[in-house]
Amino acid sequence: MKLQYLGTAAAEGFPAMFCDCETCERARKAGGKNWRLRSGMLVNDTAMIDFAPDALTMVQRFGVRLSAVRDLFVTHSHHDHFNTADLSTRENGAFCVLKDARPMNVFANEAAKNRLDAYVGRAGCDHYLNVTTVSYFQTYEAENGMRFTFLPADHAPFEKAGFYVMQEGDKTAVYMHDTGIPPQESMAYLQTLSIDFLSVDCTYGLGNEEHGHMGVPAIRRVVEGLRQSGALKADATVVLHHFTHFCGMLHEELEQAVKEDGFLVAYDGMIVEI
């Protein structure tokens, strides 16, 4: 399974769009891995999780081909994860020329679907997007044969936000964003798995948040819980992802802080093969 981080920041970007804080200043000067787009992941080049406002920049910076993406899995309706306006540029003939002009499959919760419907209005989008409303604990098959299971997140209480377990053959990857420590029913589900790769919400860096988003102390508890139950394999890759500048840390500082835990710190363009 090929997993590529396209963006690794929280909603405002890192350095943030309008920010004069010290961390953003330091990130601006340092450049490189400290410049983070809004979050999303490309899976095996043909499936994608979330559609950030920076999708165009991702395409231009990393040379990825979104025309090859057949299935888009959306975690929730927040704008940094679901940019309905740019999704409309997939309309074949109007904004692009597609070799494979079949509608792209979009899996999204009701709130995200409502946002999309409101954006496209009466014109609709059925001719270029095939939308399925996702339910918790349901598994959806992507055209590349992978299975995506939608689990409840501790995030955005006014909608059914979730995160995805991805399975291909005997490999299992979990993309756990945006969420605080996952609800008990999600943890119980995860404990039945044999996890090779875990990408965790680390919005607040070393901060103590455990609801809505996480920081390292909460992540350690989640990882420990999954290890103790035997769900997280001993050689599993654990990656921290989705950072806000309010965490106060640059990429290398975060790396240093979690070195002994064995956690990797995601950066834009990073590819993990499991």
Binding residues for Zn ion, per CB under 5 A?
Answer: 16, 19, 21, 24, 78, 80, 178, 245
Between 80 and 168, name the residue whose CB sits nearer to Zn ion: 80
Q: Which of 166, 65, 63 is nearest to 107 (CA)?
A: 166
Between 115 and 245, name the residue whose CB sits nearer to Zn ion: 245
Between 148 and 246, name the residue whose CB sits nearer to Zn ion: 246
Distance CA 163, CA 153 (A): 6
Please, what is the minimum distance in Å from the beta carbon of residue 34 to Zn ion? 12
Between 64 and 111, name the residue whose CB sits nearer to Zn ion: 111
Please, what is the minimum distance in Å from the beta carbon of residue 124 to Zn ion? 26
Distance CA 67, CA 215 (A): 35
Tokens describing residue 271: 């590819």
Cβ contact 67:100 at 8 Å: yes
Please, what is the minimum distance in Å from the beta carbon of residue 243 to Zn ion? 10
Please, what is the minimum distance in Å from the beta carbon of residue 149 to Zn ion? 20
Distance CA 257, CA 240 (A): 12
Please, what is the minimum distance in Å from the beta carbon of residue 201 to Zn ion? 8
Helices (H), 127-238: 184-190, 216-228
Tokens describing residue 253: 């500082």
- DSSP sequence for 103-123: PEEEEE-HHHHHHHHHHHGGG
Between 91 and 159, name the residue whose CB sits nearer to Zn ion: 159
Between 176 and 226, name the residue whose CB sits nearer to Zn ion: 176
> Between the CA of residue 227 and those of 48, 196, 236, 260, what are the distances in Å?
27, 11, 10, 16
Please, what is the minimum distance in Å from the beta carbon of residue 173 to Zn ion? 19
User: Rounded to an integer, what is the distance from CA 140 to the centroid of its chain?
Assistant: 17
